[in-house]
């Protein structure tokens, strides 16, 4: 397997953390955002930078065409596109729900499709990691939209892992609890807000993009060569155990 990795949502909090981990492990990167300026701000002139929207088939096609034109054919995919749209099912607008599905599920489906299609055409092995959320596994108030979208991502992980295992393509997911990234800056802005969120988790503290990025880098590496079809929780115990009343 070559050491070329594609990171989508690469200008975001998790995307940047994954990029740092993969560079440290000797990968060459293709980084994607809808905004070239954000990529330049994050990476300067480093890496192959592609401006595209991975939530459409046309956007994904552009990514693989530009990568191939630069003679870069990724063997690893870290799909870090997504958003958080909170609100109960009866109060969420159609536009917000559509945006949530598009960012979290539709983008994962099309990006994985482009990645797997290119690998299969080249008869090459590879590994992908998609990002779910604790909300897919345990009912969490006001998370209906993101829970539905991320549950779809987890189904996609298992389905695609089954389809492509025989040709050496691994597909896994990660399911974090809340992490301190731009997506959660409003929720975690105040000390009181951070404290209230942290108290919901059995383990003390809040998650970080760096620790999830280390898990994602491991899943993409040959060290995880026998791992596919799994969704790995990294959530301070949120989805499986109850916290003591604090
Ligand atoms: N932060 C958390 O607490 C948390 C918890 C559970 C799961 N997650 C998941 O972790 C992943 C990374 O999130 P993050 O925390 O790093 O957030 P982030 O900093 O906001 O990065 C997410 C990136 O996704 C891209 N994006 C957002 N909406 C999009 C849309 N409609 N179409 C295409 N691209 C879109 C944006 O990229 P551009 O604008 O640059 O194109 C953005 O930079 C997401 O899947 C998120 O759902 C995060």
Q: Which tens digits make up the pLDDT trace of 21-65?
A: 999 999 999 999 999 999 999 999 999 999 999 999 999 999 999
Q: Give me the numbers of helices (H) and strands (E) for the chain, helices first please.
A: 8, 7
183 alpha carbon – ligand 1 mean position (Å)? 6
Average per-residue pLDDT for the chain: 97
Give the pLDDT score at 246: 62
DSSP-H helix ranges across 49-106: 57-69, 94-101
Ligand 1 neighbours by CB, cut-off 6 Å = 9, 11-15, 33-35, 38, 53-55, 80-84, 99, 102-104, 107, 131, 133, 176, 178-179, 181-184
Give the pLDDT score at 244: 82
**How far is it, in rounded angstroms, from Cα 11 to Cα 43?**
9
8 alpha carbon – ligand 1 mean position (Å)? 9
For residue 83, the ligand 1 atom closest to its alpha carbon is 47
The residue that leads in pLDDT, 90 or 242, is 90
Give the pLDDT score at 242: 87
pTM of the shown model: 0.98
Q: Is the pLDDT of residue 2 over 80?
A: yes
Whole-angstrom CA distances from 95 to 12, 100, 102, 167 are 22, 9, 10, 39
80 alpha carbon – ligand 1 mean position (Å)? 6
Q: Note the pLDDT tens digit of each residue in 213-236.
A: 999 999 999 999 999 999 999 999
For residue 15, the ligand 1 atom closest to its alpha carbon is 16
Looking at CATH, the fold of the domain delimited by 4-232 is given as: Rossmann fold (3.40.50)
Q: Which residue's CA is the closest to the ligand 1 atom numbered 31? A: 103
Assign 132 to helix, strand or coil: coil
Q: Which residue's CA is the closest to the ligand 1 atom numbered 1? A: 179
């Amino acid at each position: 397997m070559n050491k070329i990795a594609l990171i989508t949502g690469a200008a975001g909090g998790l995307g940047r953390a994954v990029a740092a981990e993969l560079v440290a492990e000797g990968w060459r990167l293709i980084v994607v955002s809808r905004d070239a300026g954000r990529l330049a701000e994050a990476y300067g002139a480093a890496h192959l930078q592609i401006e595209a929207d991975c939530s459409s088939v046309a956007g994904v096609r552009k990514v693989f065409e530009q990568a191939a034109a630069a003679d870069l054919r990724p063997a690893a995919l870290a799909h870090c596109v997504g958003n958080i749209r909170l609100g109960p099912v009866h109060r969420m607008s159609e536009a917000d729900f559509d945006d949530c599905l598009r960012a979290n599920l539709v983008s994962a489906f099309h990006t994985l499709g482009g990645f797997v299609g290119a690998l299969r055409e080249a008869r090459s092995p590879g590994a992908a990691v998609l990002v779910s959320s604790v909300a897919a596994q345990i009912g969490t108030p006001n998370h209906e939209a993101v829970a539905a979208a991320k549950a779809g991502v987890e189904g996609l992980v298992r389905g695609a892992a089954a389809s492509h295992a025989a040709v050496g393509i691994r597909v896994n997911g990660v399911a974090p609890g809340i992490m301190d990234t731009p997506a959660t800056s409003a929720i975690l802005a105040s000390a009181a807000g951070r404290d209230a969120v942290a108290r919901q988790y059995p383990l003390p503290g809040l998650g970080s993009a760096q620790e999830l990025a280390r898990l994602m880098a491991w899943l993409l590496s040959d060290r995880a060569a026998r791992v596919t079809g799994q969704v790995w929780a990294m959530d301070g115990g949120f989805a499986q155990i109850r916290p003591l009343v604090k």
